[in-house]
Structure 1
Amino acid sequence: MWLAVSLVVALSVSGSSAVCPCTEERLCQPVQNEHEFEVFVFDVGGKAWKFYDWSIVTTVAAFGKYDAELLCYAHSKGARLVLKGDVPLLDIVDAAKRKAWIMENVNLAKRQFMDGINIDIEQAVEESSPEYHALTALVKETTEMFHREIPGSQVSFDVAWSPKCIDKRCYDYKAIADSCDLVFVMSYDEQSQIWGDCIAMANAPLNQTLTAYDQYMGMKIDSKKLVMGVPWYGYDYLCLNLSQEGICTIPEVPFRGAPCSDASGKQIPYSTIMKQINSSASGRLWDKIQQAPYYNYKDDKGTIHQVWYDDPESISLKAAYVGQQKLRGIGMWNGNLLDYTDDPVVQQQSAEMWNALIQKQHTASITVS
Structure 2
Amino acid sequence: LASGVLDGGRGEGGQGMEGWRRLLPPHTRMLPETSAAASCPCEDTSLCGTPTTSPPIEYYGFGDPSGGDSWKLFDWSKVTTVAWANGGGLMCRAHAEGARVVAAAPDIPLTGNVTMRGEWVKGLVQTMLAWHYDGVVFDYEAPLDAFTPHSDTLEMFRYYALLIQETKGALHAAIPGSQVSVCVAWSPDGIDGRSYDFKMLADASDIVYVMGYDVQSQVLSSRCIAAANSPLPALQRGIERYIALGIPPSKLVMGTPWYGYSYPCVRGGVEPGDICEIPLVPFEGVNCSDAAGMEISFAVAMNLFETGDCYGVFEPPCSVTSGMVWDAASSTPFFNYMSGGKAYQMWLDDPKSSALKVSIVEA
Please classify the TM superposition score into its range, dividing by the shorter chain length. Answer: 0.7 to 0.9
Quote the offset at 1:88 in angstroms. 4.9
Separation in 2 of the partners of 1:148 and 1:322? 31
Match of 1:231 among 251, 257, 267: 257
Matched, 1:256 2:291: no
Matched, 1:31 2:57: no
The residue aligned with 2:145 is: 126
Q: How does 1:223-302 map to 2 (within 5 A)?
A: 223-242=249-268, 245-278=273-306, 279=308, 280-300=320-340, 302=341
The residue aligned with 2:105 is: 85
Matched, 1:212 2:238: yes
Quote the offset at 1:220 in angstroms. 0.9
Task: Specify every segment of 5 or more residues in structure 2 that has no aligned partner in the other structure, as ranges.
Answer: 1-33, 148-153, 309-319
What secondary structure is seen at the aligned counterpart in 2 of 1:92? coil
Residues 296 and 305, structure 1, Cα contact 8 Å, conserved in 2: yes
What TM-score does the superposition give when structure 2 sets the normalisation length?
0.81
Residues 136 and 175, structure 1, Cα contact 8 Å, conserved in 2: yes
Separation in 2 of the partners of 1:34 and 1:184? 16
What secondary structure is seen at the aligned counterpart in 2 of 1:248? coil
Q: Which amino acid aligns with 2:354?
A: I
The residue aligned with 1:306 is: 345
Q: How does 1:1-369 map to 2 (within 5 A)?
A: 18-44=38-64, 45-62=67-84, 66-88=86-108, 91-128=110-147, 129-196=154-221, 197-242=223-268, 245-278=273-306, 279=308, 280-300=320-340, 302-324=341-363
Separation in 1 of the partners of 2:180 and 2:146? 23
Q: Would the alpha carbon gap of residues 113 and 188 (structure 1) be closer, same or farther in structure 2, given more than 3 Å must change?
A: same
Give the number of the structure whose residues are more often strand, by fraction: 1
What TM-score does the superposition give when structure 1 sets the normalisation length?
0.80
* Cα distance per residue 1:151-202 (max 9 Å; x no partner): 1101111111010111111111011112211111000000111122211010
* Cα distance per residue 1:59-91 (max 9 Å; x no partner): 01126xx211111111111110111114355x4
Q: Which amino acid aligns with 1:309?
A: L
The residue aligned with 1:337 is: none
Separation in 1 of the partners of 2:324 and 2:112? 49
Quote the offset at 1:284 in angstroms. 0.6
What secondary structure is seen at the aligned counterpart in 2 of 1:242? coil
- Report the aligned-residue RMSD: 1.8
Residues 157 and 183, structure 1, Cα contact 8 Å, conserved in 2: yes
Separation in 1 of the partners of 2:343 and 2:104? 38
Task: Specify every segment of 5 or more residues in structure 1 that has no aligned partner in the other structure, as ranges.
Answer: 1-13, 325-369
Residues 86 and 121, structure 1, Cα contact 8 Å, conserved in 2: no
Work out the percentage of aligned pairs sharing the same amino acid.
39
